[in-house]
Chain A
Amino acid sequence: MKLLNCPHLGARPENEFTYGGEVRVQPDPDTSSDAQWADYVFNRQGRPGTHHEWWYHNPTGIWFIAERDTITDRFLRIELASPERLKEAGHG
């Protein structure tokens, strides 16, 4: 069983977590063009690298924003989701 070393919860089995996809910054729905909206909804940063991602811990119901290397599957940083963190991840 692969363990995820979470600084907030301690070492937990990885399958307690659900992957929630890449962190993307939502453009303003009122002012964005159709093209910008389609880009936000569909396009992804598919290239390997360090990605900012949503991860959900099922037993506690906590959302995290993690930095993960998508080649080695190593978590480099796990933080509680917060508006500040979200802003940072979106621009990171």
Chain B
Amino acid sequence: MPLRLLRFALSKEHKEPRFFRERPELKDKYDAVIIGGGGHGLACAYYLARDHGITNVAVLEQGYIGGGNTGRNTTIVRSNYLTPEGVQFYDKSVKLFEELSEDLDINLFYSTRGHFTLAHNESSLRTMRWRAEVNKHYGIDSEVVDRQAVHEACPPLDLECGGQNPVMGALYHAPGSVVRHDAVAWGYGRGADERGVEIHQKTAVTDIKVEAGKVRGVQTNRGFIHTDTVISMVAGFTPRITSMVGIDTPIEIHPLQACVTEPMKPWLDSIIVSGSLHVYVSQSSRGELVMGASLDPATLHSTRSTLGFVEHLSDYMLDLFPFLSGIKVMRQWAGMADMTPDFAPIMGTTDIEGFYLDAGWGTWGFKATPVSGKTMAASVAAGRNDPLIEPFRLSRFADFQLVGERGAASIGH
């Protein structure tokens, strides 16, 4: 232990520095209450305070900050989506992420790796060409490459995949990155706290008071709070919150699982995704392989892990990387993904005045943390949806105007 740490033990004057203040009391009234202290909630609080001067804000978190999907995800950041709406939105997020360590004054270990989505058949190649063209149209670095390029970027990958599913090519996205997830939550939390926002952990919203179509306050396990503005940013808990205010949505919750191996020397620079094999992998800065797969098929409100998941994933991982057969899986976990039918989020105003929704982040919402915080803050400050999120409004389902993002979001989160 470095000697300088001893002073914390020996003197009460040197309090351990914290990322944000523990607030003993809830106030009776706030200008805005954000439900959920994940990346999205904390980012929204930060931009409300920084960009719009709205600082009388409470972020209420039932557990600890970043303990939801923010701290459970596999941290892939990319913008090579399929729809013009999605591409422009996620591109803005990638740009915010690139500046974020500087902005929040914290090392987020933002690491640009290059992102390969492998094609094992003609139909995936066809969707990839389509994606690449949409991407290029919006100025995003995205191209279809042949199998030789995949081999050069990742020599250990078995292009034959055990003979069953040979790799035919890939969609390559140079800006694809990974980033330290907890640090994103802490950085935004600290930035919001410094600007006067209150962060309350272990504070669960148990009901929302609506009168004559307007939000009046929230009930919590620590008492009632008056407020006219409630922003729900609770990912896997969204249906519980929307049912408090009587709003129907298409959101269904499915577990999404992930796991890591024991640490190895660095051998994998890029992020490799295979839609056909339902797996994706990157190597963390600690040397572990971070691996994930597709959703659990049935809805479930639980973060339980299954052996079936690891068996299935290992099977396909060994098709791609046979030399990993002796490597051990160290940990596995799950998050609750809030899925929408079109694989796009649900954002912005609702039929209830003062109730804003930021949800439907499914398996893909970590990369959107900065842009969702920024656009939700702008929408709340203006009382109407930011143009960038208008395509993602809840009413798109009633209008039959879905945002078909499935082709780019179902496996490659």
B248 CB within 8 Å of chain A = yes
Contacts of A70 in B (CB 8 A): 253, 299-301
B308–A39 CB distance below 8 A = no
Contacts of B300 in A (CB 8 A): 70-71, 73
B251–A44 CB distance below 8 A = yes
Known: A47-B240, A47-B243. A38 touches B298 (CB 8 A): no
CA of A68 to CA of B299, assembled, Å: 10
B interface: dominant SS:
loop
Contact with B along A36-61 (1 / 0, CB 8 A): 00110011111110010100000000
B302–A46 CB distance below 8 A = no
B299–A42 CB distance below 8 A = no
Known: A42-B250, A42-B341. A48 touches B397 (CB 8 A): no
Known: A19-B297, A43-B249, A43-B250. A73 touches B302 (CB 8 A): yes
B397–A42 CB distance below 8 A = yes
A71–B398 CB distance below 8 A = no
Instruction: Tell me, rounded to whole Å, the shortest Cβ–Cβ distance linking B227 to chain A.
Output: 23
CA of A51 to CA of B61, assembled, Å: 28
Contacts of B302 in A (CB 8 A): 71-73
Known: A1-B308, A15-B308, A73-B302. A43 touches B397 (CB 8 A): yes
Contacts of B240 in A (CB 8 A): 47-48
A48–B308 CB distance below 8 A = no
A46–B238 CB distance below 8 A = yes
B301–A71 CB distance below 8 A = yes
CA of A19 to CA of B252, assembled, Å: 13
B239 CB within 8 Å of chain A = yes
A5 CB within 8 Å of chain B = no
B252–A38 CB distance below 8 A = no
Contact with A44, one of B252, B297, B298, B400 (Cβ below 8 angstroms): B252
Contact with A along B38-82 (1 / 0, CB 8 A): 000000000000000000000000000000000000000000000
Contact with B297, one of A18, A22, A35, A48 (Cβ below 8 angstroms): A18
Contacts of B306 in A (CB 8 A): 2
Known: A1-B308, A19-B298. A44 touches B250 (CB 8 A): yes
CA of A92 to CA of B248, assembled, Å: 18
Contacts of B299 in A (CB 8 A): 19, 22, 46, 51, 70
Closest B residue, CB atoms, query A20:
B298
Closest B residue, CB atoms, query A48:
B301
Contacts of B239 in A (CB 8 A): 45-48
CA of A34 to CA of B395, assembled, Å: 13
Contacts of B242 in A (CB 8 A): 46
Contacts of B399 in A (CB 8 A): 38
Contacts of A18 in B (CB 8 A): 297
B248–A38 CB distance below 8 A = no
Contacts of B298 in A (CB 8 A): 19, 53, 68, 73
CA of A15 to CA of B298, assembled, Å: 11
Known: A42-B341, A71-B302. A35 touches B308 (CB 8 A): no
CA of A42 to CA of B252, assembled, Å: 10
CA of A47 to CA of B300, assembled, Å: 10
Instruction: Tell me, rounded to whole Å, the shortest Cβ–Cβ distance linking A67 to chain B.
Output: 13
Contacts of A51 in B (CB 8 A): 299
CA of A68 to CA of B345, assembled, Å: 27
Closest B residue, CB atoms, query A53:
B298
Closest A residue, CB atoms, query B240:
A47
Instruction: Tell me, rounded to whole Å, the shortest Cβ–Cβ distance linking B407 to chain A.
Output: 19
Contacts of B248 in A (CB 8 A): 39, 43
Closest B residue, CB atoms, query A73:
B300
Q: What are some 29 contacts across the A-B interface (CB < 8 A)?
A: A1-B308, A2-B306, A2-B308, A18-B297, A19-B297, A22-B252, A34-B398, A34-B400, A35-B398, A38-B397, A38-B400, A39-B248, A43-B248, A44-B250, A44-B251, A46-B239, A46-B242, A46-B249, A46-B252, A46-B253, A46-B299, A47-B239, A48-B301, A51-B299, A68-B298, A70-B300, A71-B301, A73-B300, A73-B302
